[in-house]
Amino acid sequence: MDAFQELTPIIYRKNGIHFLHLRYGANEIPITAHWHNRIELLYIISGNLEVYLNDVHYTAGSGETVIILPDTIHCASTGPTGAEYYVIAFDPEKFCNATIASDTYLLPLIQQKNWFHPITKHPEIKKILEELICLPEDESACHPLKAMGKIYELLGLFYQHCAADISQIRKPDERFGAVLIYINNHYTEDISSKNLSEKFGYDEAYFCRRFREATGTNPTKYIRYLRLEKAQHLLRTGRENIRDIALACGFSDICYFSNCFKRQFGVSPRTFQNSKEYL
């Protein structure tokens, strides 16, 4: 499971919360398989996200919130209409204090002893999330304290309306997890559904079906998306030749790489590399 751990640190505001506002087109993979120690909320504004939490599939639509607790392997893809959503993330340890309430309600979340149903559309939760999102970014005056108060209020509402029996929560499939670990480490190499299924001892048809159950997409598309994400990063941060970048990311055909990149990101690799808009 450690290979899925997100290692890139995120920056929290003074209130201990990390915010993102994201938009993705149809049939994209905005979240590849990973886990972390924080609580992450995905509040859907429009469209749909197909979310996979420990290999269990959920669909979250407009007005719904996805609750991702610490140490949960998760990934997500968009539906045919794309998705717009907010990410609200916070480290529950930073919200612990020397109170009985903290020991009773926050520590069990950190220790994975308590659990919430992962999808909610409860109106009280929606109201507090929208109030939190609308708080000014100005961190003067009392705004950080107000935001922290909203987090405590959300946690209370989760316990009130979303509490779940921890014994019914599905554990990650460690055996199939090894497949995703291998792909995450070798996606720039010449790998395919056929040689992956052979390597891990699966029938190819079953392997592809199981892969879709775990990630919401097929192995070819998943690998291609990882390659394109790496290419986008290299184009943004370096001045390497586009051909060299394509080869470094696992694309042997430069025309195919350019077509895939433009279809995924809406611009050609050269336009992306030369435009300050994408830096």
Q: Say yes or no: 158 and 229 in one domain.
A: no
In a domain, 40, yes or no: yes
- pLDDT per position as a tens digit, 161-195: 999 887 766 666 667 778 888 898 899 999 999 99
- Does one domain contain both 147 and 269? no
Chain segment 103-162, per-residue pLDDT in tens: 999 999 998 889 999 999 999 999 999 999 998 766 555 678 889 999 999 999 999 999
- The whole-chain average pLDDT of the chain stands at 87
The answer to whether residues 160 and 180 belong to one domain is no
- Pick from 30, 108, 102: which is nearest to 66 by CA? 30
Do residues 46 and 26 touch, judged by C-beta distance below 8 A?
no
Q: What gap in Å lies between CA 29 and CA 219, rounded to an integer?
A: 12
What is the domain count for the chain? Answer: 2
Length of the chain counted residue by residue: 279
Tokens 């450690």, residue? 2
Cα separation, 257 vs 250, whole angstroms? 9
Of 168, 186, 205, which closes a domain?
Answer: 168
Region for 112 from its dihedrals, namely left if φ exceeds 0, alpha if ψ lies in -120 to 50, beta otherwise? left
Residues 196 and 137 in one domain: no
268 and 189, same domain (yes or no): yes
For residue 3, the 8-state DSSP code is G
129: domain CATH number is 2.60.120.810
Using alpha carbons, select from 178, 183, 182, 177 the residue that is nearest to residue 214.
177
Query: What's the rounded Cα separation, in Å, for the pair 44 and 47?
Result: 7
Other CB atoms within a 10 A radius of the CB of residue 233 amount to 12
Same domain, 86 and 185: no
Question: pLDDT confidence of 7, banded at 50, 70, 90?
Answer: very low
Instruction: Tell me if 7 is assigned to some domain.
Output: no
When pLDDT is cut at 50, 70 and 90, the band that residue 238 belongs to is confident
Return the biggest CA–CA distance within the chain: 62
Looking at the structure, tell me whether residues 28 and 123 fall in a common domain: yes
Domain that holds residue 118: 17-168
pLDDT tens per residue, range 15-61: 789 999 999 988 888 888 888 889 999 999 999 999 988 878 899 99
Same domain? For 217 and 93 the reply is no
* CA distance linking residue 246 with residue 224, whole number of Å: 12
Give a yes or no: residue 4 inside a domain.
no
pLDDT at 216: 77
Separation CA 235–CA 16 (nearest Å): 32
Residues 145, 186, single domain; the answer is no
**Strand, helix or coil at 166?**
helix
